[in-house]
Structure 1
Amino acid sequence: MLVLPGPGLLLVLAGLLVLASEFPALGKYIDPVRDRAMKAAEDSVATPFRIVWSVLAGLALIAAGIVWGLVDSLPLSGWSTGSGLILSGIVLLVLLAWSYRRVKAKRKTQT
């Protein structure tokens, strides 16, 4: 998902927050990563083209996961690989929807 910087950086931020709860020294990295992740999330839904492209990427991940789960002749075929791809597509779509709602609410409060 890092090829789509908005959702990818949000997951990096989530992982950093979890690690910082166990390792306080990582706390100094949270604010810069949060700023970049929120900017990337806003940029990922800035234009209809980016939204459509990201939705298509999420749907393609889900479709690839189904294919990998059903077709035995593919390398690393099986539902372990397929479920990982499906989960990645679902997480991408959820984070994209979250980004869209956040940006929409932010724009509404600015006007």
Structure 2
Amino acid sequence: MGVGKRVKRVLIVVAGAVLLVVGVLLLVLPGPGLLLVLAGLLLLASEFPALERYVDPVRDRAMKAAEDSVSSPLRIAGSVLAGLALLAAGIVWGTVKSLPFSGWSTGSSLILSSVILFALLGWSYRRVRTRRTAVQRG
């Protein structure tokens, strides 16, 4: 195996492991835990085929969680409010110097979290709407 292939493999394994660990942490913290676990598993399964058997069950649960997150107007409103709160907190932490861990490193991570939340919310909503339209037509 050439050096380039080894480097690529190490990078894939490291990225997969990081996504998997962060995803597991986000299972108990607010965030898209199952989707990150799925992404990590997909990367790791590309290098370790024995992990393929875990991909489908995690994919099914992640897609169910994504659909549940937009199953009612109340849940959508709650998610939008959480995203707006993260965005506001990021701006405040970036600009108010008297807060603990103040600065744009903390602020930008909160803002990035809100952007990810809105992107996942939009993706989930479009996915559910597309499925409902297909079911109504078929």
TM norm. shorter chain > 0.5: yes
Instruction: Give the C-alpha shift of residue 4 in structure 1.
Output: 5.4
How many Å separate the matches in 1 of 2:47 and 2:106?
Answer: 30
Task: Give the corresponding residue for 2:120.
Answer: 95
Q: CA RMSD in A?
A: 1.7
Structure 1 residue ranges without an equivalent (≥5): none
Instruction: Give the C-alpha shift of residue 28 in structure 1.
Output: 1.9
How many Å separate the matches in 2 of 1:29 and 1:23?
Answer: 11
After the TM superposition, which of the residue ranges 21-30 and 75-84 deviates more from structure 2?
Answer: 21-30
Q: Is the aligned partner of 1:19 residue 2:44?
A: yes
Alignment-mate amino acid for residue 39 of structure 2 = A
Select the structure of larger CA radius of gyration: 2
Task: Give the corresponding residue for 1:33.
Answer: 58
Alignment-mate amino acid for residue 103 of structure 1 = V
Structure 2 residue ranges without an equivalent (≥5): 1-25
How many Å separate the matches in 2 of 1:107 and 1:19?
Answer: 33
* Partner of residue 74 from structure 1, selected from 82, 99, 102: 99
| Structure showing greater relative contact order (alpha-carbon pairs closer than 8 Å, 6 or more residues apart) | 1
Instruction: Give the C-alpha shift of residue 16 in structure 1.
Output: 2.3
Q: Is the 8 A contact 1:4 1:54 kept in 2?
A: no
Task: Give the corresponding residue for 1:105.
Answer: 130
Q: Percent identity?
A: 72
TM-score of the superposed pair, with normalisation by structure 2 = 0.72
After the TM superposition, which of the residue ranges 19-28 and 29-38 deviates more from structure 2?
Answer: 19-28
